Amino acid sequence: MEEFIRLYDEAVAIRGKREISSFITAGSVAAALLTENGNIYVGVCVDTSSSIGSCAERNAITSMIAHGEHKIRKIVAVESGERVCPPCGVCREYMMQLGEDSKDIEVLLELDCEKGTMRSVRLQELVPDWWGYSRY
């Protein structure tokens, strides 16, 4: 639970909607991930008027890849009200394609720090019957 709380805090720290231009806003959702090597990468969503933005999770993953890593252990996304939210379908697919072990990425779905409770699942539970297993 401690690692998820740290990731949650990292995501909350960078979340906050901000206007980039009259066409782009960013930060309404933030994500933080923990790699197999113990490093944390963060990202925020970028929303555009033409629907070509990107999700917070994918931006955190891109940062991880830019730093030479590609194996995620845990991931957290946070939306308004500092509420944990699950990754969208595109982000789930993106993570599954990172490698054979990606099915084991632990995804936080709920966190209640006051009660000391949380709920997480393995990515494979969010992507049942994934089409790509035969390619590994």
Query: Domains of the chain, with CATH numbers?
Result: 2-130 (3.40.140.10)
Query: What does residue 123 show for φ and ψ, rounded to 5 degrees?
Result: -55, -35
Which pLDDT value is given to residue 26?
98
Predicted confidence band at 121 (pLDDT cuts at 50, 70, 90)?
very high
Cβ atoms of residues 15 and 60 within 8 Å: no
Question: Which neighbouring-strand residues pair with 19?
Answer: 25
Q: Report how far residue 45's alpha carbon sits from residue 65's, in angstroms, rounded to the nearest whole number.
A: 17
pLDDT digits (tens, 9 = 90+) for 63-111: 999 999 999 999 999 999 999 999 999 999 999 999 999 999 999 999 9
Q: Report how far residue 98's alpha carbon sits from residue 76's, in angstroms, rounded to the nearest whole number.
A: 17
Q: Report how far residue 127's alpha carbon sits from residue 136's, in angstroms, rounded to the nearest whole number.
A: 16
The tokens describing 111, both together, are: 């966190």
Q: Across residues 55-61, what is the average pLDDT?
A: 98
User: Among residues 80, 87, 65, which one has the least CA distance to residue 27?
Assistant: 80
pLDDT reading at 51 higher than 90: no
Tell me which amino acid residue 65 is.
I
